[in-house]
Chain A
Amino acid sequence: MLRVERLCAGYAGGTVLHEVSLDVRPATVQAVVGRNGAGKSTLVHTVAGLLRPHAGRIEIGGVQVAGRQPHRIARSGVGLVPQGRRVFSRLTVAEHLALAAAPWRAATPGGEGWTVPRILELLPRLAARLRHRGDQLSGGEQQMLAIARALLGQPRVLLLDEPCEGLAPDLAARVRDLVGALARGGLTVLLVEQQLQHAIEVADRIAVLEYGRVVYDRPAAEARADPGVLAAMLSVAAVGEPPASRPVPGLWPDPGTRPDHLRQG
């Protein structure tokens, strides 16, 4: 669904990404981990069109989109949840949702058909904060709003740039579970994470970026079986066994109300 091939990109003449290649299968989570400055956010920005690549290809559903303007890439089915959330501070939650659900966003071929009621069913906390402005929300609420905004664009591919950054552990767990559920519901996810444990819990495949190059790209099951290899690569303590799947309080108030497309998870 998302194919990145020999991608080179950077800023002001300097190259950050060096021939990065990734092949993200439909309805899976591809995590990209790496240290600060490894090029993770540069990768997300380039795929989203916010940064023009120096060379290489980016394909969404087989269509080459590298070098296109960000609004064209968004319309081809790419949703962005950026680092730091970047919700609009002057708009209320209701206005965010109304703007995100605008008619120009409803035509992505193969998109999921997200609607505001469906989003509020998935993220009931937002329903209680409809009149609050973006800058009046907690970090977790802002993250949910950023995800809601991206989903209402009917994406086929969701780019998440450190969605758990700055969140309390329980909120971070909810976000990870939501990401996993979205992938099981059919969405293709590129998840950039600095925390290996966060990535390893939810990903189907994990890549490691080091100085702008992919130095590891294996199924997550391999990483889970032998987490020491990855940990050594990232110079962090080995991660333990991923916690067992658990219900997520707050995301779905009652398992019976969980949306159909997520129940299989």
Chain B
Amino acid sequence: MAAGIRIDPYLVPALDGVAYGLLVFVAAAGLVLCFGVAGILNLAHGTLFAIGGYTAAALLDGGWPSLALALVAGTVAAAAAGALVAGLLTRSAARSHLTQALLTFGVALAGGSLLVGAFGPDDPPVRVPAALDGSVAVVGHRYPAYRLVFIAVAALLAGLLHLAVRRTRAGMLVRAAVDDAEMVAAMGVSPTRIRVGVLAIAGGLAGAAGVLGAPIIGPGTDTADTVLLLSLVVVVLGGLGSMAGTLLAALAVGQIQTLGVALAPSTAPFLLFAAMAVVLAVRARLPLAPRRAT
């Protein structure tokens, strides 16, 4: 009973952390695919998320059909923007991470300006369906219904993503390309098609996260930067090897951002980057695993 009393004040931040973590997971999974499969450091990834967020703000009118429409429109628009980024990265540009970073950073700046120009500098309101606009009781606490539903939907998305990577031919191709992209090309698969496909899927994931996460974070002028930063942290913490690693890292980031703030308000903002620094330092000291089976 005593333990229950201690845990109780932190239940809501912990639940928020799960929601936040899953949101970051859906967004970061796309960046992991970009970097791990196509080898592209896409600094415009946060902008793709913002496209989804602004689409939600523009289309959501408090009804269910508008939510479905916003989800489809935001996902498609961000996927198209992702494919456009892939189109800008020619074969030679795609080989250099510095060129990628500069080019995609430029796209992010231009995209951010276009979004602010179109929707204005103020954070637009987002209207969720009326049925999800209230709160429900969770162990004696009121908790926003939308966030609970979001946790379920994001968990479903994570599960579907896991199945797609593990069980489909496209997923096999993704895992093979992470391992040895050159051998995948030598098997007859076009690297350009992989690059465009992966960036479009990554954009679609970011767009879907942007729509679904709009009532939680954003959209706003800082949304793209925040999401990009958190996604990069997840990429560093979770590595590029598996979606499970990405999920664990995203959930950890979510908890640090919410439960961490509740437990240690003064140090929580630094915890995220301290964790990242520790992981980088430990990895730098580990012997390198062989790149290829021999």
Q: Which chain B residues lie closer than 8 Å to A232 at the CB level?
A: none
29 A-B pairs within 8 Å (CB atoms) are namely: A50-B185, A71-B186, A74-B188, A82-B183, A84-B292, A84-B293, A84-B294, A86-B180, A86-B183, A86-B292, A86-B293, A88-B175, A88-B176, A88-B179, A88-B183, A89-B179, A89-B292, A90-B175, A91-B175, A91-B176, A95-B172, A95-B175, A98-B172, A99-B169, A99-B172, A100-B187, A104-B188, A104-B189, A137-B293
Residue A48 contacts which of B172, B176, B179, B186 (CB distance < 8 angstroms)?
B186
Q: Are A105 and B187 in contact (CB under 8 A)?
A: yes
Give every chain B residue within 8 A of A142 (Cβ-Cβ).
Answer: 293
Best-buried of B172, B173, B182, B293 by chain A (most CB within 10 Å)? B293
A75 touches B188 (CB 8 A): yes
For B179, the chain A residues whose CB sits under 8 A away are 88-91
- B268 beta carbon closer than 8 Å to chain A: no
Asked whether A80 and B186 contact (CB < 8 A) given A86-B293, A88-B180, A142-B293, the answer is yes
Pair count A-B, CB < 8 A: 79
Taking the complex as formed, is B266 at the interface, i.e. its CB lies under 8 A from any CB of chain A?
A: no
How many positions in chain B have a CB within 8 Å of any CB in the partner chain?
21
User: Complex formed: what's the CA distance from A71 to B91 in Å?
Assistant: 14
Q: Is A149 positioned at the interface, with any CB of B under 8 Å from its CB?
A: yes
Contact across chains for B293 and A153 when beta carbons are under 8 A apart: no
Question: In the docked arrangement, what's the CA distance between A61 and B258, Å?
Answer: 64
**CB within 8 Å for A70 and B182 given contacts A104-B189, A105-B187:** yes
Distance A186 CA – B178 CA, assembled complex (angstroms): 34
Check if B267 is an interface residue, CB within 8 A of chain A: no
Q: How far is the CA of A180 from the CA of B172 in the complex (A)?
A: 32
A50-B182, A70-B182 as given contacts; A85 in contact with B293, CB under 8 Å: yes
Q: Is B239 an interface residue (CB 8 A)?
A: no
Residue of A nearest to B292 (CB): A86
Whether A112 sits at the interface, judged by CB under 8 Å, is: no
A69: interface (CB < 8 Å): yes
Q: Which residues of B contact A100 (CB under 8 A)?
A: 187
Residues of B within 8 A of A87 (CB): 293
